[in-house]
Amino acid sequence: MFLVGLTGGIASGKSTVVAVLRELGCAVIDADVIAREVVQPHCKAYQQIVSSFGTEILLGNGEINREALGSIIFSQPQKRQLLNSITHPEIQKEMLKQIVKYFVLGYRYVILDIPLLFETNRLTKFMKYTVLVYCDPPTQLARLMRRNGLARAEAEARLAAQLPLEEKRRLASWVIDNSGEREATRRQVLRLHARLQGSLHFLWARLAAGALAAGLAALGCLLLRRLGS
Ligand code: ADP
């Protein structure tokens, strides 16, 4: 098995591309969904967040107020680091669990949908390929304004807070250009899918798992024979 990191910029079309990949039967792990799950009240990170940030970041129903937390960490980098040190290990643990699940199910590769893949840059080393969903800046701005109902200045501020797509483009091993029609994007996703399906990189993990299983079986036989003699 191998891992494929998928990323983009705000409103560049990542969700649109993920929808096509899922339709094609790909295993996709959504880092945003996991990030929301690991801060639910029954989770370990929840207690740590409440004891570090206080009960004022809680909603009436006891859940974490993500917007309140977001504005705290936006203006205070140290608090951002603290929050990341609490949540990142939990997110990675959950991702690993899901990767193992897909491996056992026989998937050749798993796509990790990670919005800040290049910004945090800690997971890129585990990826066989990194895919960027790109969109030219004027189209990105127009789509962001339309989708989120934002004024131009507000949308520009959101874009300015991210690493520019031009920069991410240089870091990615594969680029899907979503500046044009949806159909043109779909064709590019089909090409990417064909390339991933044809890749033989998955064999290494399968061979290693096979060798490990054979080794353990041999060890088991040896122990049984020793016990029997
Ligand atoms: P992201 O997940 O990267 O934030 P989305 O996939 O939600 O971006 O796309 C942003 C907006 O642009 C959405 O409203 C979507 O419907 C629209 N959109 C995406 N791709 C295209 C396209 N090729 N042509 C027209 N609109 C698009």
Task: Return the ligand 1 atom nearest residue 146 CA.
Answer: 14
Is 166 in contact with 40 (CB distance < 8 Å)? no
CB of residue 185 inside a 6 A radius of ligand 1: yes
pLDDT of residue 8: 97
pLDDT of residue 33: 96
Question: Ramachandran region of residue 5, left (φ > 0), alpha (ψ -120 to 50) or beta?
Answer: beta
Taking the domain 2-198, which CATH number applies? Answer: 3.40.50.300
CB of residue 14 inside a 6 A radius of ligand 1: yes
CB of residue 15 inside a 6 A radius of ligand 1: yes
Task: Return the ligand 1 atom nearest residue 12 CA.
Answer: 3
Mutate to test the pocket of ligand 1, among 143, 148, 178 (most ligand atoms within 8 A of CB): 143
pLDDT of residue 225: 86
Per residue of the chain (229 residues), give pLDDT as tens: 899 999 999 999 999 999 999 999 999 999 999 999 999 999 999 999 999 999 999 999 999 999 899 889 988 999 999 999 999 999 999 999 999 999 999 999 999 999 999 998 889 999 999 999 999 999 999 999 999 999 999 999 999 989 999 999 999 999 999 999 999 999 999 999 999 999 877 777 767 777 888 888 888 888 888 878 7
Question: CA 16 to CA 6: how far, in whole Å?
Answer: 12
Is 26 in contact with 162 (CB distance < 8 Å)? no
The overall pTM is greater than 0.75:
yes
- In this structure, which residue's CA is closest to atom 5 in ligand 1? 13
Domain borders along the chain are 2-198, 204-229
Is 43 in contact with 215 (CB distance < 8 Å)? no
pLDDT of residue 161: 87
CA of 160 to the centre of ligand 1 (A): 19
Task: Return the ligand 1 atom nearest residue 185 CA.
Answer: 23
pLDDT of residue 219: 84
CA of 153 to the centre of ligand 1 (A): 20
CB of residue 10 inside a 6 A radius of ligand 1: yes
**Residue 149: strand pairing partners:** none
- In this structure, which residue's CA is closest to atom 14 in ligand 1? 147
CB of residue 11 inside a 6 A radius of ligand 1: yes
Question: CA 222 to CA 209: how far, in whole Å?
Answer: 20
Question: CA 127 to CA 104: how far, in whole Å?
Answer: 19
CB of residue 143 inside a 6 A radius of ligand 1: yes
pLDDT of residue 213: 82
pLDDT of residue 207: 77
- In this structure, which residue's CA is closest to atom 20 in ligand 1? 13
CA of 107 to the centre of ligand 1 (A): 28
